[in-house]
């Protein structure tokens, strides 16, 4: 069986792609064609079939073939003796994000899962694609090119794992290890193109240093500079990253952008080639569950920051600041006491990607805890081997073992590799920290490699012991609407709920004076920060609930520490050796 896809964008102003599937030599009398319901790497059912219209099937001679809808994502084709036929349909492309597709008069962007259907039973077959760009638009993609605007993939999984940017975007290039790397840059902001190329090259070179070689012929970074939006999605030999257009000015914003680049690039090894056994071949119709996303995403987060440190793109102080911020947010998340890293991974579909207003109290992100566990795993390996090995050796060993035959790993495989590399039995560690909600003593953990953790307040005028007043609410960026209420703090106990709109504190208008950012970078979410009040002091909170004003009185708690600081102990040479090996390789 052969399939040739043709992708057209006849009128970009309509927002519709036109897709043709030339199907040759099927075996069945009734064929099934399906549009994926989700995109690998983004664990949420999105039902891309909702964007499809005008599906029709004809024989090569132009005769109509009967079709009917089987379910929300699948069509039956009653082809009978016609073993070759042509499927045509349109797809609306109105989502400009890393997991969506988008078409307007400025460009076309697509993930294959959003656009291309597959014939059931034939996903293992090679496919070819012809793209007919609008006017003189160019194409950037990691897919194998076999002719002018013509591409090939060895199977459907690889086919839809190659996003495309089509338009008048800028193309920047560099070479590492003899391999071509392309940056497809859509949009404009305050970026410096030369710096962008140089810094991304450093990330590639540093990541290559862990594994020794690059497992692709060429790699494409698709970067969207947008008014709003942030995030990335990994692919086999490419990634798409969306960031605010003016993210390149402030150092902390630019470092965050580089961390996304580093994270998504590292995925080409960890998850795309070192994958949990459940993640491939893919079932595109329904959820695919794995308890190991803390490895695929969290450990990737760990390496992403270590790579920036080793590449000289961030300082050791900035790395420790990032780590300290992660520990602080973990400490103030009640959900850590109710959900393990493994269960958090399994619940990605219903909690991380479909968060409820109570997420903070019942869920902990596998990105966050996974990064902390990655740090702890590397710490133990470095400590036990007296600074001769670290987590690099384990991830490289996983790559060499599980990339050769394409098979995924299960937890016992990871445990075996960690033991082989370090000589340690990590089963107790996994039982305690991966499958349980045991408390993590960060102070003791960090001391093992000569790091001292202090907790205090960022405002030096605030007495560490006395603290200041705190209700325990997280508000949206408008600083008024309650997004989440933290368990066992006064706001929850007094009956403040998500979606309440706080308009005044003690008859003073609610404003930035009473707020502080949840994290240093960005202001997407804010904590109440009542530094004019003392713990135990009673206040009146005026709010609107479903359009009706009410006033709630409560006694304030002591605010949690908002400044975690990690400082190196430089007096112990052996601990410095262990620490250096762990972080710098």
Q: How confident is the model at residue 266 (pLDDT cuts 50, 70, 90)?
A: very high
**Residue 506: inside a domain, yes or no?**
yes
Same structural domain for residues 548 and 440?
no
pLDDT of residue 522: 54
pLDDT of residue 407: 85
Over residues 107-134, the mean pLDDT reads 97
> What's the domain count of the chain?
4
Domain extent for 68 = 2-167
CA distance 396 to 121: 34
Same structural domain for residues 218 and 122?
no
The percent of residues above 70 in pLDDT, for the chain, comes to: 99
Boundary residue ending a domain (417, 447, 477): 447
Q: How confident is the model at residue 518 (pLDDT cuts 50, 70, 90)?
A: confident
Same structural domain for residues 345 and 474?
no
Q: How confident is the model at residue 52 (pLDDT cuts 50, 70, 90)?
A: very high
CATH label of the domain that carries residue 146:
2.60.40.3650
Same structural domain for residues 370 and 224?
no
CATH label of the domain that carries residue 256:
1.10.390.10
Alpha-carbon separation of residue 113 from 37, 155, 458 (angstroms) = 8, 13, 46
**Residue 574: inside a domain, yes or no?**
no
Provide the β-strand partners of residue 153: 127
Residue 187 three-state SS: coil
Q: Which residues contact 128 (CB under 8 A, 6 or more apart)?
A: 2, 3, 4, 5, 146, 150, 151, 152
Task: Give yes or no for a contact between 534 and 509, defined as CB atoms under 8 angstroms apart.
Answer: no
Provide the β-strand partners of residue 75: 33, 69
Boundary residue ending a domain (120, 148, 167): 167
Same structural domain for residues 37 and 112?
yes
pLDDT of residue 521: 65
**Residue 254: inside a domain, yes or no?**
yes
Joined together, the tokens standing for residue 570 give 């430089």
Question: What are residue 478's phi and psi, to 5 degrees?
Answer: -75, -10
Same structural domain for residues 8 and 146?
yes
CA distance 118 to 160: 10
CA distance 583 to 504: 47
**Residue 377: inside a domain, yes or no?**
yes
**Residue 460: inside a domain, yes or no?**
no
**Residue 7: inside a domain, yes or no?**
yes
Same structural domain for residues 439 and 479?
no
Boundary residue ending a domain (145, 167, 189): 167
Same structural domain for residues 19 and 163?
yes
Query: Burial of 556 by CB count in 10 Å (0-12 exposed, 13-18 middle, 19+ buried)?
Result: buried
**Residue 304: inside a domain, yes or no?**
no
Same structural domain for residues 498 and 395?
no
Sheet holding 150-153, edge to edge: 52-58, 85-92, 16-24, 2-8, 127-132, 150-153, 144-147
Provide the β-strand partners of residue 502: 543
CATH label of the domain that carries residue 485:
2.30.42.10
Comparing C-alpha atoms, which of 389, 339, 384, 385 is closest to residue 365? 339
Q: Which residues contact 474 (CB under 8 A, 6 or more apart)?
A: 360, 482, 483, 484, 485, 486, 518, 525, 526, 527
For residue 404, is pLDDT > 90? no
The secondary structure of 219-253, three-state, reads EEEEEEEECCCCEEEECCCEEEEEEECCCCCCHHH
Residue-wise pLDDT for 152-208, tens only, equals 999 999 999 999 999 999 999 999 999 999 999 999 999 999 999 999 999 999 999
Lowest mean pLDDT among 287-296, 327-336, 520-529: 520-529
For residue 51, is pLDDT > 60? yes
Same structural domain for residues 411 and 543?
no
CA distance 270 to 264: 10
Residue-wise pLDDT for 521-543, tens only, equals 655 789 999 999 999 999 999 99
pLDDT of residue 477: 86
Same structural domain for residues 240 and 318?
no
Mean pLDDT, the chain, whole residue set: 96
Lowest mean pLDDT among 66-75, 107-116, 184-193, 570-579: 570-579
356-384 burial string, b = 16+ CB within 10 Å, else e? eeebbbbbbbbbbbbbbbbbbbbbbbbbb
pLDDT of residue 23: 97
For residue 288, is pLDDT > 80? yes
pLDDT of residue 70: 97
**Residue 575: inside a domain, yes or no?**
no
Residue-wise pLDDT for 429-468, tens only, equals 999 999 999 999 999 999 999 999 999 999 999 999 999 9
For residue 406, is pLDDT > 80? no
Cite the beta strand spans of 390-507 per DSSP E.
Answer: 451-456, 469-470, 473-476, 482-485, 501-505
pLDDT of residue 248: 96
CA distance 332 to 355: 17
Residue-wise pLDDT for 338-392, tens only, equals 999 999 999 999 999 999 999 999 999 999 999 999 999 999 999 999 999 999 9
Comparing C-alpha atoms, which of 309, 222, 223, 210 is closest to residue 259? 309
Write out the DSSP string of 159-176: HTT--EEEES-EEEEEEE
Same structural domain for residues 83 and 149?
yes
């Amino acid at each position: 069986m052969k399939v040739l896809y043709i992708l057209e964008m006849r009128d970009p102003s309509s927002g519709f792609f036109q897709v043709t599937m030339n199907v040759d030599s099927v075996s069945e009398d009734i064929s099934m064609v399906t549009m994926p319901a989700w995109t690998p790497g983004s664990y949420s059912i999105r039902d891309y079939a909702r964007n499809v219209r005008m599906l029709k099937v004809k024989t090569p001679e132009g005769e109509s073939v009967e079709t009917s809808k089987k379910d929300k994502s699948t069509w039956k084709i009653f082809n009978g003796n016609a073993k070759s036929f042509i499927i045509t349909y349109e797809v609306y492309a109105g989502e400009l994000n890393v997991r969506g597709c988008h078409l307007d008069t400025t460009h076309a962007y697509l993930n294959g899962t959003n656009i291309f259907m597959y014939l059931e039973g034939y996903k293992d077959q090679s496919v070819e694609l012809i793209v007919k760009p609008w006017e003189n638009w160019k194409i950037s993609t990691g897919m194998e090119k076999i002719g002018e605007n013509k591409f090939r993939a060895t199977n459907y999984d690889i086919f839809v794992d190659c996003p495309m940017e089509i338009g008048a975007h800028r193309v920047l290039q560099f070479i590492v290890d003899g391999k071509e790397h392309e940056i497809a840059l859509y949009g404009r902001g305050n970026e410096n193109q030369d710096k962008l190329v140089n810094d991304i090259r450093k990330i590639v070179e540093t990541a290559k240093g862990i594994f020794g070689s690059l497992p692709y012929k060429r790699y494409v970074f698709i970067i969207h500079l947008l008014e709003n939006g942030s995030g990335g999605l990994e692919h086999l030999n490419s990634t798409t990253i969306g960031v605010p257009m003016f993210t390149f000015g402030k150092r902390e914003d630019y470092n965050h952008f580089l961390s996304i680049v580093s994270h998504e690039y590292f995925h080409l090894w960890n998850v795309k080639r070192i994958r949990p056994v459940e993640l491939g071949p893919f079932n595109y119709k329904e959820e695919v569950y794995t308890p190991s996303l803390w490895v695929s995403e969290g450990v990737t987060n760990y390496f992403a920051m270590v790579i920036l440190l080793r590449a000289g793109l961030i300082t050791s102080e900035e790395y420790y600041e990032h780590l300290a911020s992660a520990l602080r947010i973990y400490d103030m998340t009640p959900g850590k006491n109710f959900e393990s890293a493994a269960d958090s991974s399994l619940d990605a579909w219903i909690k991380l990607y479909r968060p409820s207003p109570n997420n903070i109290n019942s869920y902990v992100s596998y990105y966050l805890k996974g990064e902390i566990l990655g740090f702890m795993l590397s710490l133990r390996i470095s400590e036990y081997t007296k600074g001769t090995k670290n987590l690099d050796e384990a991830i490289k060993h996983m790559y060499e073992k599980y990339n050769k035959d394409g098979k995924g790993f299960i937890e016992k495989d990871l445990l075996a590799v960690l033991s082989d590399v370090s000589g340690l039995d990590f089963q107790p560690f996994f039982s305690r920290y991966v499958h349980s909600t045991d408390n993590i003593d960060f102070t003791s953990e960090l001391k093992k490699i000569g790091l001292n953790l202090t907790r205090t307040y960022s405002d030096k005028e605030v007495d560490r012991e006395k603290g200041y007043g705190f209700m325990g609410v997280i508000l949206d960026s408008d600083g008024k609407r309650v997004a989440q209420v933290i368990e066992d703090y006064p706001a929850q106990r007094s009956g403040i709920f998500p979606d309440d709109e706080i308009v005044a504190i003690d008859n003073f208008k609610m404003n930035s004076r009473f707020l502080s950012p949840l994290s240093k970078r960005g202001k997407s979410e804010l904590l109440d920060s009542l530094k004019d009040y003392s713990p135990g002091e009673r206040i009146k909170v005026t709010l609107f609930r479903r359009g009706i004003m009410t006033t709630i009185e409560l006694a304030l708690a002591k605010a949690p520490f908002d400044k975690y600081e990690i400082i190196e102990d430089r007096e112990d040479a052996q601990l410095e050796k262990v620490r250096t090996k762990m972080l710098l390789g």
